[in-house]
Structure 1
Amino acid sequence: MTRLRLFVLTIFCCSLAFSSLQAQDYQKAIGLRLGYPVSISYKMFLGNSNNALEAFVNYRSQKVFSYGWTRIGVGGAYQVHNPISSVDGLQWYYGGGAAIYFWSYDNDFSGFEDEANLSLGIQGYLGLDYKFAGAPVNLSLDWVPTFYISGYGDGFGADNGALTIRYTFEE
């Protein structure tokens, strides 16, 4: 997994090196958050401001021997984008949001019960956002620390983040 993250970061940094590309703004975008797990992401800017809403949904399932689990996550965030003037199309952003995760556990060992659980998470966002000029493509790279309030994984998780690749819509 570490090699994949290094590869993705390298591609993102190399794409920023082509600063001769002129970028343009976008209003809406949909794509994939290539994190753990992979999510579908939809981002929408509010009017002509630098404020955006991002929503995501994800699904992850794993089966190991006689034990398995499934997780479905749904969440949203409010983000504030600020331009980085030295590179057209590059912005940094911060924000906050919340997510809800639905878990189910399947245990085939006798004497153990199957169970379902719910986790709530409060999230922070810190990232970079780049829109390529002349192409309907947007890349984001972010860190999303999450504090889980209840359910599986109570406490602070700082290992969340992703590279997001989106198709943009102009309005």
Structure 2
Amino acid sequence: MENFKLKIALQVLFLVAAIGIGSGSVNAQTYKTGVGLLIDVGDGGTLVGPHIKHFFQPNHAGEASLQFGNGLTVLQAMYQYHQPISGAEGLQWYLGLGGALLFPNNSGNTHFGIVPAAGIDYKISSAPISLFADWRPKFLISDGQNEFLAARFGLGLRFILNAGSNP
């Protein structure tokens, strides 16, 4: 089952790359807020849910998500620092850091997670859509026990609410 999830994650990553390479001209980051679907896959199961990203300044964004799956409900918030990739309009790399609260469905124990991220964000100029892919390992802390999940990846898309509004 884990190999199947990894294959799905790689296929989505290749799709994001193909769209990025195959699209015509794309403008630099030209949105302020986007909402969409986040798929968080890898070690520990698959989580899926809505998320929102908002740029407070051209290079500084916040992302929040509510994810479900693998017997968990996860609330996550993250700060992200963005920079454009030279020669690839609409494509930016980013680094992020945030926290997560994990609520297991079968117990009252809440877990805390520290979540760094490194990824790419691509805004399609001809559509109000942004695609992203990142590596987001998780450091989980619960009842004095720690766990590190290195193989975690975020994939998704956003509908842009205010295209052309650069922060």
Superposition misfits of 4+ residues, deviation over 6 angstroms: none
Counterpart in the other structure of 1:127: 119
CA distance in 2, matches of 1:28, 1:117: 33
Q: CA deviation at 1:54?
A: 0.1
Q: CA deviation at 1:154?
A: 2.8
Deviations 1:65-122 (A, max 9, x none): xxxxx311101000000000110000000010000011132xxxxxxxxx32111001
Query: What letter matches 2:113 in structure 1?
Result: G
Pairwise CA RMSD: 1.8
CA distance in 2, matches of 1:21, 1:132: 9
**Counterpart check, 1:13 vs 2:17:** yes
**Counterpart check, 1:116 vs 2:111:** no
Counterpart in the other structure of 1:66: none
Give the unaligned 5+ runs of structure 2.
41-45
5 Å-filtered alignment, 1:18-167, equals 18=22, 20-24=24-28, 25-35=30-40, 36-46=46-56, 48-60=57-69, 70-105=71-106, 115-151=107-143, 154-167=146-159
Query: What letter matches 2:98 in structure 1?
Result: G
The 8 Å contact of residues 137 and 151 in structure 2, kept in 1 or not, is answered as yes
CA distance in 2, matches of 1:151, 1:15: 44
**Whose radius of gyration is greater, 1 or 2?**
1
Q: Percent identity?
A: 32
Give the unaligned 5+ runs of structure 1.
62-69, 106-114
- Count of residues in Structure 1 that have an aligned counterpart in Structure 2: 153
